[in-house]
């Protein structure tokens, strides 16, 4: 009753479908997943809540659970191979769950990922050590909380499209991610655009779109 499935979209795009689990009642989630799996489509279920996980995996044992990314995938038919790879970079270890959501999303769409984690501006030598690797990639997803400076620094060093993902890591003046969001938007370095706070999925989707151009 409550859902109007958009059949045009997956057909037109040839991309797998995505379900956002977090705000849904478990029974509704199961119904929707049922529909997509029964149609033999590739499926990514993102932001799976802990209480949804058991019922989901029990009913659909085909689903693969990615714990850190908090998502499930089912690949019925692998997407065509992609010649290019994408980088996923984080400032700290607390940003890793969001980064993994981006990475799993890229991989779900058939794009390989290079992970460059915990190389934030507090010790910039860690970042400099991996520059060449980063310059060989097609696009970079850069995930950072607190002051959100890392995407600017990366965009200044690597001439590739950079997608900044602010995270809600931090407290007080970090304003639950609003501060790194605003900081990334006002970056003095061009070549950088930004997605919503903690939106690893959106960043991974866009990066894979660019990698497949």
Ligand X SMILES: Nc1ncnc2c1ncn2[C@@H]1O[C@H](COP(=O)(O)O)[C@@H](O)[C@H]1O
Q: Please list every residue from 141 through 200 that binds ligand X, using CB under 6 A.
A: 190, 199
Q: Write down the residue that tokens 């706070």 correspond to.
A: 197
81-120: contacts with ligand X (CB under 6 A): 92-93
Residue ranges of E strands in the chain: 17-20, 43-46, 64-66, 71-74, 85-90, 112-116, 139-144, 162-166, 192-194
Work out whether 179 is an interface residue with a second copy (CB under 8 A): yes
List C-alpha distances in Å: 122 to 35, 98, 149.
47, 20, 10
Q: 63, 71, 174, 200: which one contacts a second copy (CB under 8 A)?
A: 174
70, 73, 78, 80 alpha-carbon torsion, rounded to 10°: -40
Work out whether 185 is an interface residue with a second copy (CB under 8 A): yes
The residue count of the chain comes to: 213
Smallest gap from Cβ 83 to ligand X, in A, equals 25
| DSSP state for residue 81 in the 8-state scheme | P
Work out whether 1 is an interface residue with ligand X (CB under 6 A): no
Span interacting with a second copy, options 35-43, 56-64, 70-78, 157-165, rule CB under 8 A? 157-165
Span interacting with ligand X, options 15-23, 49-57, 73-81, 148-156, rule CB under 6 A? 15-23
Work out whether 206 is an interface residue with a second copy (CB under 8 A): yes
Q: 18, 56, 134, 150: which one contacts ligand X (CB under 6 A)?
A: 18
Work out whether 9 is an interface residue with a second copy (CB under 8 A): yes
* Burial of 129 (C-beta count, 10 Å sphere; 0-12/13-18/19+): exposed
């Amino acid at each position: 009753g409550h859902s109007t499935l958009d059949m045009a979209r997956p057909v037109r795009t040839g991309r797998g479908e995505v379900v956002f689990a977090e705000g849904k009642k478990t029974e509704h989630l199961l119904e929707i997943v049922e529909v997509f799996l029964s149609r033999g489509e590739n499926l990514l279920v993102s932001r799976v809540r802990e209480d949804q996980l058991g019922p989901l995996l029990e009913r659909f044992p085909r689903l693969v659970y990615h714990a850190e990314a908090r998502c499930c995938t089912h690949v019925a038919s692998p997407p065509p191979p992609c010649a290019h790879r994408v980088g996923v970079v984080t400032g700290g270890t607390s940003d890793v769950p969001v980064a993994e959501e981006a990475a799993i999303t890229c991989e779900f769409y058939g794009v390989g990922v290079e992970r460059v984690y915990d190389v934030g501006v507090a010790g910039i030598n860690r970042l400099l050590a991996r520059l060449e690797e980063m310059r060989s990639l097609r696009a970079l997803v850069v995930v950072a909380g607190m002051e959100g400076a890392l995407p600017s620094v990366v965009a200044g060093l690597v001439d590739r499209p950079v997608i900044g993902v602010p995270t809600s890591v931090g407290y007080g003046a970090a304003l639950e991610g609003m501060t790194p969001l605003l900081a990334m938007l006002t970056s003095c370095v061009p070549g950088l655009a930004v997605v919503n706070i903690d939106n690893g999925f959106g960043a991974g989707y866009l990066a894979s779109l660019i990698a497949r151009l």
